[in-house]
Amino acid sequence: EIVMTQSPATLSVSPGERATLSCRASQSVSTNLAWYQQKPGQAPRPLIYGASTRATGIPARFSGSGSGTEFTLTISSLQSEDFAVYYCQQYNHWPSVYTFGQGTKLEIK
């Protein structure tokens, strides 16, 4: 089983600043990595797939990078609506198995 580890668990950043979230896979997943944003009481919203491709309608301030086992989600200039929990998900062996990271909570500093 591929284990996804996100860091930090909580990140405190001021509006307008840059946020950098990390996701590490226990073995290579190539670029089969997605990021989701989840706000309280809502379903996850896809942000990034293929490690770096923004999903439809996602603002350019969200960017993803990485390959293999190390991945990063960067939000270039935080807006109030960006404070949420972010999850990474690997799908390297889809359709047979998918695993999510435990999440990073992005909070207002």
Partner 1 sequence: QVQLQESGPGLVKPSETLSLTCAVSGYSISSTYYWAWIRQPPGKGLEWIGSIYHNGNTYYNPSLKSRVTISLDTSKNQFSLKLSSVTAADTAVYYCASYTGGWMAYWGQGTLVTVSS
| Chain positions contacting partner 1, by CB under 8 A | 1, 32, 34, 36, 42-46, 49-50, 55, 87, 89, 91, 94-103
Query: Under a CB-based contact definition with an 8 Å cutoff, are residues 13 and 78 in contact?
Result: yes
Q: Least distance to partner 1 from the beta carbon of 99, Å?
A: 7
Contact status, residue 6 vs residue 88, Cβ threshold 8 Å: yes
CA 98 to chain centre: 15
Smallest distance from the beta carbon of 72 to partner 1, in angstroms? 17
Which residue's CB is nearer to partner 1, number 14 or number 56? Answer: 56
Rounded least distance, CB 21 to partner 1, Å: 14
| DSSP secondary structure code for residue 80 in this structure | G
Residue 38 per-residue DSSP state:
E
Tell me the two tokens of residue 22: 């990390």
13 vs 98 by CB, closer to partner 1: 98
